[in-house]
Amino acid sequence: MVKTINNTEDNTLHTLSIQVSLNGLSFCTVNQDQQITSLVEDNFGIQLSPEQVLDKIKYSFDHHLELKENFKSVEVIYLNNLYTHVPKPLFDADQIKEYLKYNIKVLENDFIAYDELEQHDIITVYIPYANINNFFFDSFGSFTYKHASTILTNSLLSQEKHNENVSVFVNMNHKFFDIVIINKGKLVLANTHFYETKEDFLYYLLFTTEQLNLNPEDFQLVFLGDISTQSDYYDIAYKYIRNIHFGKRNKDLGLPKELEHIAPHQHYVLLSHF
């Protein structure tokens, strides 16, 4: 389910996508021909509060002219660990808080939302940042929002639908990573882990795969996001896991010359939902 707050204005043919986490922001604008017209990334270096992130968003909107335009549509992506996936046959919207309370601390006044992965009978239940939603409503009047795991999982399941093997996808972000494991086209696990060191990263990766009885000699490890062959995280994974490669987005978006350095596995979530 896509949540939309409606407004009848439709002033341009561009789409603005905004990826929000407590560690950083990414903004992307796309024209009607699916060409990327701008991409802005702000890595905070530390984890902030939702209130501090909102201040960062306001600063970005004040200092980047490309964010001051009128847009055909505005899409907000929440990237956090405040989520879980529920099989659609087991989902009851009236019990939505129950799905989260065993995984994370849910406060009485938390607003809980959900997305539907329609082709895969999966529901993502999550907590967006209400103060940031309110800001975008005041700024644009009309926008949609989703959780990053909805986009990531949906895209990977579509890629893997004919694969008869096990794939372990790791989407690297600053200070945390998402892990999605798919076996024969079916979702086995989706989770998010925080790390401080490369040893933390390796521990969570190997512990997760060990719990599922996956042999590091056999499964495919596919890196996405903020990582390269020069990364310490790539090096330490390569010492323990035989089959490693980089993934790529389901479709190629046109990149302007100044953004041609962006590899197909980078900014995976932000550029995978168009």
For residue 77, the domain's CATH number is 3.30.420.250
Residue in this structure with the two tokens 């919207």, named with its chain if needed = 93
Residues 171 and 125 in one domain: no
Residue 99 domain-assigned? no
Cβ burial of 250 (10 Å; 0-12, 13-18, 19+) is: middle
Confidence check: pLDDT of 168 > 50? yes
Provide the β-strand partners of residue 25: 20, 42
If asked whether residues 49 and 167 sit together in one domain, one would say no
pLDDT of residue 11: 42
One domain for residues 166 and 133: no
List beta partners, residue 149.
none
Query: Token digits for 50?
Result: 């939702």
Q: Give the β-pairing of 15-20 and 24-30.
A: antiparallel
Are 73 and 38 in the same domain?
yes
Q: How many structural domains compose the chain?
A: 2
CA-based diameter of the chain, in Å?
A: 55
Residues 33 and 143 in one domain: yes
Shared-domain flag, residues 135 and 11: yes
Share of the chain above pLDDT 70, in %: 96
266 within domain boundaries: no
Are 59 and 76 in the same domain?
yes
* Domain encompassing residue 228: 155-246
Pairwise CA distance, residues 155 & 190, whole Å:
13
What are the tokens at 175? 């200070």
The pTM (predicted TM-score) of the whole model is: 0.92
Lowest mean pLDDT among 64-68, 87-91, 213-217: 64-68
Residue 111 DSSP class? -
Same-domain check for residues 63 and 134: yes
Nearest to 129 by CA among 49, 56, 196: 49
Looking at the fold, whether 132 and 171 belong to one and the same domain comes out as no
DSSP codes joined into one string, 167-220: EEEEEEETTEEEEEEEETTEEEEEEEEE-SSHHHHHHHHHHHHHHTT--TTTSE
Looking at residues 219-246, what average pLDDT do you find?
97
Residue 274 lies in a domain: no
Answer whether residue 120 is part of any domain: yes
Gyration radius (Cα) of the chain, Å: 19
Under the banding of pLDDT at 50, 70 and 90, the label for residue 118 is confident
Indicate if 229 and 213 belong to the same structural domain.
yes
Residue 104 lies in a domain: no
Q: Which of 90, 82, 152 is nearest to 123 (CA)?
A: 90
